[in-house]
């Protein structure tokens, strides 16, 4: 699949990050089931527990607009390495993922990225599908 627009959206979102405490800026973009893109950045707070990650910002924007199924996620943090979603974000991605094979695009720049599946970065996850059993 061509993720060029998704990657560009994540890179652009990173420029809007509010990270005065860590100076670690993160951007993310998600692709919904009908190919709509939502982006988000990390937003820090002096009360660190009130900080929100870029991935969750993007997901919450989508959900608040009525989009509840994610097909892919792109993330960029420090452009010298691949930044993976944190544990909380992995669980939130799982909640709204189309399935555990959705692709997570980890970006250094628009030409340097790797793709992992959700199952690879969160094996054995507990999902709403488990509650239906």
Predicted model pTM: 0.94
pLDDT, tens digit, 9 for 90 and up, residues 11-34: 999 999 999 999 999 999 999 999
Which superfamily, per CATH, for 4-131? Cytidine Deaminase, domain 2 (3.40.140.10)
- Among candidate residues 4, 8, 55, 98, the one labeled active-site is 55
Domain segments of the chain: what residues? 4-131
**55 a catalytic residue:** yes
Q: For the residues 55-80, what does the mean pLDDT come to? A: 97
Alpha helices in the chain (DSSP H): 4-14, 54-64, 87-96, 118-121, 128-131
What's the CA dihedral at 40, 127, 116, 50 to 10 degrees? 30
Q: Mind listing the pLDDT tens digit for each residue in 32-65? A: 999 999 999 999 999 999 999 999 999 999 999 9
β-bridge mates for residue 115, sequence order: 105
């Amino acid at each position: 699949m061509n993720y060029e627009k998704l990657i560009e959206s994540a890179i652009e979102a990173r420029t809007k990050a509010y990270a005065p405490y860590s100076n670690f800026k993160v951007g993310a973009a998600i692709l919904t089931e009908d190919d709509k893109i939502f982006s988000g950045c990390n937003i820090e707070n002096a009360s660190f527990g009130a900080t929100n990650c870029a991935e969750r910002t993007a997901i919450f924007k989508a959900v608040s607009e009525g989009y509840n199924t994610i097909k892919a996620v792109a993330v960029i943090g420090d452009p010298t390495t691949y930044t993976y979603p944190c544990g909380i974000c992995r669980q939130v991605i799982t909640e709204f993922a189309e399935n555990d094979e959705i692709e997570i695009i980890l970006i250094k720049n628009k030409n340097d990225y790797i793709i992992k599946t959700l199952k690879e970065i969160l094996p054995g996850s507990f999902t709403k599908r488990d509650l239906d059993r």
